C-alpha cells in the first residue's frame, strides 16, 4: 500500500497549524482528525465513536481517582506534615531545608502523581521558609521545581497511565514498579547537588527535634503516607487492580483527613470537586480526541514511515535512543507532558521496540525525559508555578537551575542505557 | 447590556447544573469501584456489572466536563504566536478558537446522535443497560459545548486558558 502523503500532511500539518493559531490542543487534534477522516472517506461518525472508546477504559478510570487522592490529601494539609517529616529526617544535614525539600517531594510523589501540585503545595511552605533562612530565591525555586519531578516518576503517576493507554494497554502495576528506582535515583542525584551547593555556599542546617517530637511527626505523616501502602501493596498482593486501589485510596484519604487530621471543611470539599473537575476537563478532552488522532496515525502508517526514515540513518539502539531522547527533550520544552505522551507514544514506541527496547523501560525514559521539560522555560508548568510562588522572574529561577539540569540529564542517560534500573524491580516481584 | 447579563446568567446556570451532575458522577464512580472491592472480598460476591457502570459514569462525566471546560476556558492552548501578534490579530485568533470549538462540538453532537440510532436495541453485556445510553452524553456534551462557545463569543469572553491560575494545570 503506497504512503498517503496528502492524508499525513492533512493530519499532522492541520494539527500543527491549528495548534499554533491558539486553537485549544484537544480541539486542534479533533478537527485535524475530522478533516482527515473526511478526506479518507471514512465514516465521520467514527470520530464520536472513537472519542467515547478513548474514555471507555478501566485503566483510565484510575486517573480521576489519583487526582482526587492528591487533591484530598493536599486540602487536608498533608504537605505541611511531609515537610516536617522531611525536616526530621534530613534537616540536620548542611543545607537541611533544601535537602528536606527534595525528601518532602519524594514522599509527596508517593501520594500524588502531579509535579505541579507538588510545587504548589510543598513549594508554598518551603520556598518562603528557604528565603527566610537566607537561601537565594532562585535557588529555592530550583530545588523545589526539580525535586517535584519525582512526582511523575514515583507511583502513582497519571502520566504513566497515559503512557500505558497510548502504548495500547501495558500493565499499570509493572510501570508503577519500574518507576520507583529511577524516581529515587533522581531524588538522590538532586540531593548530591544540594550537598555540593550547601558546602560551597555554607548553607544553614535545619531544625533540631527531640526524640518524642520526631516520633509525633513521624506518626502524624505516617497515617497519610499509608496511602502509598494501599496503592502499591494492593497491586503487589493482587488484592486490587491499579484502578481499584486508586478508588480505595480516595476513600482512605477522605477518612484520614476527616477523622484523623480533622482538617476538611465543606468549603475544602467544594474546592476538591472544583479543581478535580477542572483538571479532568482538560485531560478527558485530550484523551478523547487523541484517541481519534492516534487511530489515524496508525491507519496512515505514520510510525512505519518514521521508523524507515530513522533506520535509514542507523539501527544502533544507542543512536536511536539518543535521537529519541533529544527529540523528546526539545518538544518537552515547548509542549505539555501529558499531551506529548499521548501523541508520541504510538509513533515512537514501534520504532524503539524494533531495536529491542522494552516497552516498560521506554515508558520510564519518556516520562523522566518529559518530566525535565516541566522545569524548563518557556512553558515548563512546574517552573512557572514555582517562580509564581516565589514571585521571581523565569530568568532568575532558570539561572540557578543549571546544576540541577545537569543532574537530571545524567540520570536520564543512566535510566536510558541501563535498562536494569527500570526493569529489575518488576522482574523481582513477578 | 441587559441581554448579555441574562444570557450569562442563563448559560452559567446550565453549566452549574452540569457541574453538579459531574460532582455527583464522581461520587458514584468512586463508590461503585470501592463497592466492587467490598463485594468481592468481604461478601465474596464478585460483580461484573460494576466496571461497566463506573465506566458509564466516566463517559458521562468526561463529555460534560469537556463542555463545561469550554465556558471556563480550561482547554490548554499554545498562545506563543497569539501573544507575539498585534493585539487585533491576537483577539481575532481568540474568537477563531471559539469558532473551531463550536464546529467540533457540533460534529460530536451530530454524529453522537447517529451513534445513538446505530446502537438501536443493543444492550451492554454485563449490566444489561441499553448501549445507546453510552452515546447520550455526546449529544448533551456536544450541545453544551456549542452553547458555551456561542456564549463566549456573544459575551466577548474569549480569555486565554489557565495562565493566571496555576492550580488549574495540575494534571502532571
**Per-residue pLDDT tens over the stretch B3-57:** 899 999 999 999 999 999 999 999 999 999 999 988 888 877 778 888 899 999 9
Please state the rounded mean pLDDT for residues A161-170.
Answer: 92
Per-residue pLDDT for A121 more than 80? yes
pLDDT at res. B138? 96
Please state the rounded mean pLDDT for residues A309-313.
Answer: 90
Chain A CB contacts of B37 under 8 Å are 239-240, 244, 247-248
CB contact under 8 A, B26 and A278: no
Kindly report the nearest CA distance between residue A313 and chain B, in angstroms.
32
CB contact under 8 A, A282 and B72: no
Asked if B168 is an interface residue toward chain A (Cβ–Cβ < 8 A), one would say yes
Please state the rounded mean pLDDT for residues A335-347.
Answer: 92
3-class secondary structure, A177: helix
3-class secondary structure, B130: strand
Q: Which of A120, A151, A250 sits opposite B167 (nearest CB)?
A: A120
Measured distance CA(A107)–CA(A343) in Å, rounded: 30
Per-residue pLDDT for A76 more than 60? yes
Per-residue pLDDT for B169 more than 60? no
pLDDT at res. A236? 81
End-to-end CA distance of chain B: 41
Per-residue pLDDT for A299 more than 80? yes
CB contact under 8 A, B107 and A47: yes
Measured distance CA(B172)–CA(B170) in Å, rounded: 6
CB contact under 8 A, B108 and A152: no
pLDDT at res. B167? 38
Question: Predicted ipTM?
Answer: 0.91
Kindly report the nearest CA distance between residue B151 and chain A, in angstroms.
17
Measured distance CA(A325)–CA(A314) in Å, rounded: 15
pLDDT classification of B166: cutoffs 50, 70, 90: very low
pLDDT digits (tens, 9 = 90+) for B56-87: 999 999 999 999 999 999 998 988 899 899 99
Q: Which of A31, A60, A337 sits opposite B172 (nearest CB)?
A: A337
pLDDT at res. B164? 42
Asked if B6 is an interface residue toward chain A (Cβ–Cβ < 8 A), one would say no
Please state the rounded mean pLDDT for residues A360-389.
Answer: 94
Please state the rounded mean pLDDT for residues A414-426.
Answer: 96
Searching chain B, which residue's CA lies closest to the CA of residue A244? B33
pLDDT at res. B162? 56
Asked if B134 is an interface residue toward chain A (Cβ–Cβ < 8 A), one would say yes
Asked if B112 is an interface residue toward chain A (Cβ–Cβ < 8 A), one would say yes
Plot region of A112 (φ>0 → left; ψ -120 to 50 → alpha; else → beta): beta
Please state the rounded mean pLDDT for residues A176-184.
Answer: 96
pLDDT at res. A123? 93
Contacts A–B by Cβ distance under 8 A:
218
Residue A203 DSSP class:
P
**C-alpha cell belonging to residue A248:** 480505595
Measured distance CA(B37)–CA(B127) in Å, rounded: 17
CB contact under 8 A, B172 and A25: no
CB contact under 8 A, B59 and A280: no
Q: Which residues contact B119 (CB under 8 A, 6 or more apart)?
A: B130, B131, B132, B134, B135
Q: Does the CA dihedral B130-B65-A385-A70 come out positive or negative?
A: negative
Per-residue pLDDT for A1 more than 70? no
Please state the rounded mean pLDDT for residues A402-415.
Answer: 97
Q: Which of B59, B65, B138 sits opposite A280 (nearest CB)?
A: B65
What are the CA-CA distances from residue B84 to residues A20, A161, B160 (Å)?
A: 12, 35, 14
CB contact under 8 A, B69 and A385: no
Q: Compute φ and ψ for B80, nearest 5 degrees.
A: -55, -55
Kindly report the nearest CA distance between residue B10 and chain A, in angstroms.
20
Chain A CB contacts of B82 under 8 Å are 21-22
Q: Compute φ and ψ for A205, nearest 5 degrees.
A: -85, 160
Please state the rounded mean pLDDT for residues A25-54.
Answer: 94
Substitution target from A21, A32, A36, A48 for chain B, most B beta carbons within 10 A: A48
Per-residue pLDDT for A104 more than 80? yes
Q: Which of A22, A275, A281 sits opposite B68 (nearest CB)?
A: A281
Amino acid at each position: 500500500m503506497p504512503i498517503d502523503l496528502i492524508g499525513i500532511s492533512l493530519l499532522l500539518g492541520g494539527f500543527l497549524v491549528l495548534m499554533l493559531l491558539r486553537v485549544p490542543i484537544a480541539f486542534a487534534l479533533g478537527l485535524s482528525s475530522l478533516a482527515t477522516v473526511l478526506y479518507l472517506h471514512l465514516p465521520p461518525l467514527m470520530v464520536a465513536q472513537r472519542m467515547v472508546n478513548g474514555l471507555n477504559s478501566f485503566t483510565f478510570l484510575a486517573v480521576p481517582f489519583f487526582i482526587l487522592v492528591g487533591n484530598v490529601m493536599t486540602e487536608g494539609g498533608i504537605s505541611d506534615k511531609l515537610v516536617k517529616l522531611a525536616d526530621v529526617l534530613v534537616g540536620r544535614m548542611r543545607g537541611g531545608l533544601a535537602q528536606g525539600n527534595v525528601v518532602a517531594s519524594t514522599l509527596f510523589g508517593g501520594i500524588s502523581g502531579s509535579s505541579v501540585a507538588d510545587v504548589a503545595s510543598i513549594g508554598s511552605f518551603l520556598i518562603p521558609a528557604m528565603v527566610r533562612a537566607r537561601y537565594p530565591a532562585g535557588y529555592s525555586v530550583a530545588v523545589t521545581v526539580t525535586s517535584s519531578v519525582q512526582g511523575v516518576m514515583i507511583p502513582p503517576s497519571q502520566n504513566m497511565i497515559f503512557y500505558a493507554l497510548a502504548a495500547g494497554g501495558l500493565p499499570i502495576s509493572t510501570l508503577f514498579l519500574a518507576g520507583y528506582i529511577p524516581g529515587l535515583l533522581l531524588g538522590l542525584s538532586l540531593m548530591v547537588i544540594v550537598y555540593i551547593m550547601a558546602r560551597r555556599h555554607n548553607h544553614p542546617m535545619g531544625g533540631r527535634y527531640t526524640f518524642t517530637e520526631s516520633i509525633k511527626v513521624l506518626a502524624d505523616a505516617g497515617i497519610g503516607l499509608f496511602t502509598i501502602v494501599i496503592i502499591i501493596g494492593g497491586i503487589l498482593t493482587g488484592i486490587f487492580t491499579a484502578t481499584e486501589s486508586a478508588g480505595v485510596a480516595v476513600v482512605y484519604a477522605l477518612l484520614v483527613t476527616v477523622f484523623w487530621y480533622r482538617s476538611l471543611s465543606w468549603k475544602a470539599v467544594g474546592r476538591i470537586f472544583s479543581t478535580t473537575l477542572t483538571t479532568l476537563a482538560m485531560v478527558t478532552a485530550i484523551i478523547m480526541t487523541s484517541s481519534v488522532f492516534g487511530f489515524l496515525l496508525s491507519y496512515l502508517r505514520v510510525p512505519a514511515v518514521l521508523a524507515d526514515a530513522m533506520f535509514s540513518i542507523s539501527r544502533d539502539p544507542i543512536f536511536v535512543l539518543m535521537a529519541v531522547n533529544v527529540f523528546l527533550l526539545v518538544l518537552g520544552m515547548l509542549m505539555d507532558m501529558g499531551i506529548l505522551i499521548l501523541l508520541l507514544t504510538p509513533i515512537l514506541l514501534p520504532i524503539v521496540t524494533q531495536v529491542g527496547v522494552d516497552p516498560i523501560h521506554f515508558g520510564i525514559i519518556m516520562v523522566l525525559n518529559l518530566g525535565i521539560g516541566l522545569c524548563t522555560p518557556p512553558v515548563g508548568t512546574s517552573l512557572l508555578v514555582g517562580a509564581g510562588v516565589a514571585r521571581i522572574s523565569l530568568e532568575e529561577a532558570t539561572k540557578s537551575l543549571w546544576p540541577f539540569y545537569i543532574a537530571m540529564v545524567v540520570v536520564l542517560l543512566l535510566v536510558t542505557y541501563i535498562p536494569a534500573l527500570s526493569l529489575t524491580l518488576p522482574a523481582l516481584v513477578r | 447590556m441587559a441581554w448579555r447579563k441574562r444570557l450569562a446568567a442563563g448559560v452559567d446556570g446550565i453549566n452549574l447544573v452540569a457541574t453538579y451532575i459531574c460532582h455527583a458522577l464522581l461520587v458514584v464512580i468512586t463508590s461503585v469501584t470501592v463497592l466492587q472491592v467490598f463485594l468481592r472480598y468481604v461478601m465474596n460476591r464478585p460483580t461484573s456489572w460494576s466496571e461497566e457502570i463506573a465506566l458509564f459514569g466516566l463517559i458521562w462525566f468526561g463529555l460534560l466536563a469537556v463542555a463545561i471546560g469550554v465556558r471556563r476556558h480550561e482547554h490548554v492552548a499554545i498562545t506563543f504566536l497569539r501573544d507575539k501578534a498585534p493585539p487585533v490579530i491576537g483577539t481575532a485568533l481568540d474568537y477563531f478558537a471559539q469558532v473551531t470549538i463550536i464546529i467540533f462540538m457540533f460534529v460530536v453532537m451530530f454524529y453522537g446522535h447517529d451513534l445513538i440510532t446505530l446502537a438501536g436495541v443493543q444492550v451492554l453485556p454485563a449490566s444489561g443497560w441499553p448501549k445507546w445510553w453510552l452515546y447520550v452524553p455526546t449529544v448533551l456534551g456536544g450541545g453544551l459545548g456549542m452553547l458555551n462557545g456561542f456564549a463566549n463569543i456573544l459575551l466577548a469572553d474569549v480569555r486565554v486558558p489557565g495562565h493566571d491560575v496555576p492550580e488549574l494545570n495540575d494534571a502532571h
